[in-house]
Amino acid sequence: MVAGSHPKDIWATATRADGMTSARVRPATVERGARAPAGVPDARRVEAYRWMVLARLVDERCLTLQRQGRIGFYVPLEGQEAAQIGCALALEAADWIFPAYRELGLALVRGVPLETLFDQFIGNSGDVLKGRQMPNHYGYRDRNFVVASSPVGTQITQAVGAGLAARRRGDAIATIAFFGDGTTSSNDFHAGLNFAGVFRAPTIFFCQNNQWAISLPRAQQTHSATLAEKARAYGFEGVVVDGMAIDEVYRAVRQARERAVAGDGPTLIEAQVYRFGPHSTSDDPKRYRPAGELEKWKQHDPVAGFRDELIREGRLTVQDDEKLWEAARAEVASAWKTAESKPPVDPLSFLDDVFAQPTRELEDDRRRLAALLAQREGKP
């Protein structure tokens, strides 16, 4: 891990990374008269760090597991831990999350057990989603964590709809959609922001601009100076935050949430981060990223940066830190071991849940498949 301070010139680094000038990127604005919320509260700072470490270790483990062929695919979040954990901590449990497929940090903070996530990655009999989806495409209704899909942006309009429904029901919650820089070019991004503006939806649009949409750099995604400024065209505020700094993210999300719940409408937050790893286990960033870029961003590693802050604040010692990593490693290993030992998913279950009740055709298919499987087993 890289130790050291978190320099103020991160935007200059961002500039070198994507060719923008630093003057075009501005920090989060605070509405006049509004009370700027503090960062991650004292009581939750070590917890926040622990989540970040856990997310980092799950990533590390899953990349290995994928290479070993023990899981089929993986979407890493390394580099985006502060953005995700800071955001998750700023939300309330009743807020509805509409994730993309990279939101492991959010899922952990929401209390989805690691073992449950591993069950999903394997698609085993413990998988709540019954082995239906690729790894990382999960959702847990009891955590208000809506199930993700692969098409980018579709969750954005859905988050707006859920926000409007919550308002109609009189529930004082926010809905929040997660997406990346590439998604700001999608139909649903524009439709969703437009609907949210028109209907003043209690919705937060949380864009993790990790600088690369698979191989396309941010500068080629849009000619806009920032992604956040797109909100202005839809009549509400967009803010840029340093997504490597957990307190900045926390403050921006807290403020956006207060605005949403107060009936003051949506907010677009652009958290500027960097994807340290590949888009997924199916690509190699060396093919498209300029040499040296990753190394520059790694100097602002959000996990190392926050650790150093906590040490400076006297909340963590080097010994505590070592123990924390050790405990997290043991937690990951134990959860994986349990998940991997579970039996596979019921082979007939893929025919369920197409409709509330199966059609006659699906019932016939089930009978035929059951007979085929019985035949394979050598049963009559």
Active site residues: 275, 279, 288
CA angle, 102 as apex, 328 and 180 as ends, to 5°? Answer: 140
Task: Say if residues 149 and 137 touch (Cβ distance below 8 Å).
Answer: yes
Q: Give SS3 for 180.
A: strand
CB of 140 to other proteins, least distance (A): 7
CB of 104 to other proteins, least distance (A): 18
Closer by beta carbon to other proteins, 177 or else 269: 177
CA 175 vs CA 105, 145, 153, 250, 253: distances in Å: 17, 10, 15, 16, 12
CB of 355 to other proteins, least distance (A): 5
CB of 315 to other proteins, least distance (A): 38
CA distance 254 to 87: 8
Closer by beta carbon to other proteins, 141 or else 286: 141
- Which of 18, 56, 142, 138 shows the shortest CA–CA distance to 332? 56
Closer by beta carbon to other proteins, 291 or else 356: 356
Which residues have CB under 8 Å from 127's CB, separation 6+?
A: 119, 120, 345
Neighbours of 61 (CB within 10 A): 19
- Residue 377, phi-psi category: left (phi > 0), alpha (psi -120 to 50), beta (remainder): alpha
CB of 99 to other proteins, least distance (A): 12
- For residue 213, the surrounding DSSP H or E stretch is strand 212-213
Closer by beta carbon to other proteins, 40 or else 162: 162
Q: Which residues of the shown chain bind other proteins in the complex (CB under 8 A)?
A: 96, 98, 127-130, 132-133, 137, 139-141, 146-147, 149-151, 154, 156-166, 168-169, 175, 187-188, 191-192, 194-195, 198-199, 352-356, 359-361
- Partnered with residue 124 across adjacent β-strands are 344
Closer by beta carbon to other proteins, 154 or else 272: 154
